[in-house]
Amino acid sequence: MDAQAVASDFHINVSHPTLQIALTGPSNADAEASTAGLNHPAVYMNLNGPPYPYSAKDWDAWFWMVSELWKYNLADLQEINNQDQSVVAAQDWSKRKWLGRQMWHSTIRDMGNGGKFIGDITVPRETFMYIRDEEERKRRKEENVKLEPGDPRIVWMIGFWLIPEYHRRGIMPAVLQTVMAEILPKHNAHTVHGSFFDHNTSSRKVFEKCGFSFQEVVPDAVIINPAKTNGIEKKVGTGRTKWERHSSS
Ligand SMILES: CC(C)(COP(=O)(O)OP(=O)(O)OC[C@H]1O[C@@H](n2cnc3c(N)ncnc32)[C@H](O)[C@@H]1OP(=O)(O)O)[C@@H](O)C(=O)NCCC(=O)NCCS
């Protein structure tokens, strides 16, 4: 199954008042738009993960990874959708099939503009970057990774970004709400964290609009890649929000 075929097999509409937004699989045709976005300061100054400067090689490595993830996620999704209803009704989560063997990733597209790439949203397991004690962080991460898909004790996190032309148009709250309605229940997610650099008011607001509650700011938690700050070492605090599914919901 190639990535193009995989991408065309999945499409979730995102409800937005003026734009036709959708979540799909990855496509190698997104290389240019994604690379330009990740090399823009309105994006890279708010992200810790992607390399900077972001090169064609970085895209190739990312694309290869998300295409692989996508094959597994799509296969799991099909199995979940085809589950026997008696299995679906089972109270015991371990009897059912769930997403979450690996990170969920979706590409965000403007369908009214030829399916233009406008960003990404991911749902990995929490890496606990906000825990400053290295041993404790490692322990929590290992514990979280070992849990079986569907285990309600798994702590998930959300990562997202949009290309600058699409900022401040209410897209990400709509995208996150869609992921919370369509994708998180298929993980049996009970606890989800949303983290952001403490200057990133927009990101915090996206989480809060979607029902996440503010938890804390950890000062100086992350060293910004010095390539982003003219070689000067700068630290930034990280804020964290949390969403919890209550057993009745
Ligand atoms: C953060 C991001 C995902 C927000 O998505 P979005 O679709 O632009 O979100 P919105 O359009 O709802 O804007 C977010 C809110 O922040 C507000 N906002 C935007 N910039 C702001 C600023 N500099 N100061 C204060 N508020 C700001 C918006 O007005 C909106 O609030 P409102 O609902 O009260 O009007 C997007 O800007 C982005 O991709 N940024 C770069 C990458 C990034 O930060 N990723 C998240 C890492 S945690």
Residue 241 lies in a domain: no
Residue at 236 is within a domain: no
Q: E strands of the chain, at which residues?
A: 11-14, 21-24, 104-110, 116-123, 155-162, 191-197, 213-224, 234-244
Tell which atom from ligand 1 comes closest to the C-alpha of 173.
12
In a domain, 229, yes or no: no
For 83-134, the pLDDT digits (tens) are 888 877 778 999 999 999 999 999 999 999 999 999 999 999 999 999 989 9
> What pTM does this model have?
0.93
Task: Give how many domains the chain has, as a whole number.
Answer: 1
User: Which residues span the domain enclosing 115?
Assistant: 3-194
Cα(205) to ligand 1 centroid in Å equals 7
Q: What is the pLDDT of residues 230-241, one digit of tens each?
A: 999 999 999 999
In a domain, 227, yes or no: no
CB 161 less than 6 A from any atom of ligand 1:
yes
Question: Best substitution site from 202, 205, 206 to test ligand 1's pocket, by max atoms within 8 Å of Cβ?
Answer: 202
pLDDT category of residue 246 using cuts at 50, 70 and 90: confident
CB 166 within 8 A of CB 110: yes
- And the tokens for 59? 């895209």
User: Is residue 47 a part of any domain in this protein?
Assistant: yes
Instruction: Give a yes or no: residue 218 inside a domain.
Output: no
Query: How much distance in Å is there from the Cα of 33 to the middle of ligand 1?
Result: 19
pLDDT of 8 > 60? The answer is no
Q: Are 226 and 233 in contact (CB under 8 A)?
A: yes
DSSP label of 125: B
Q: Is residue 248 part of a domain?
A: no
**How close is the Cα of 169 to the center of ligand 1, in Å?**
8
Ligand 1: does its nearest atom lie under 6 Å from the Cβ of 47?
yes
User: Quick check: 159 and 200 in contact, CB under 8 A?
Assistant: no
What does the alpha-carbon distance between residue 120 and residue 97 come to, in Å, rounded to a whole number? 25
- CA 218 vs CA 76, 156, 215: distances in Å: 36, 19, 10
Question: Residue 249: pLDDT above 70?
Answer: no
132 neighbors 175 (Cβ within 8 angstroms): no
Atom of ligand 1 nearest to the CA of 168: 11
> Is the Cβ atom of 167 under 6 angstroms away from ligand 1?
yes
Does any domain span residue 110? yes
CATH number of the CATH domain containing 178: 3.40.630.30
User: Coil, strand, or helix at residue 34?
Assistant: helix
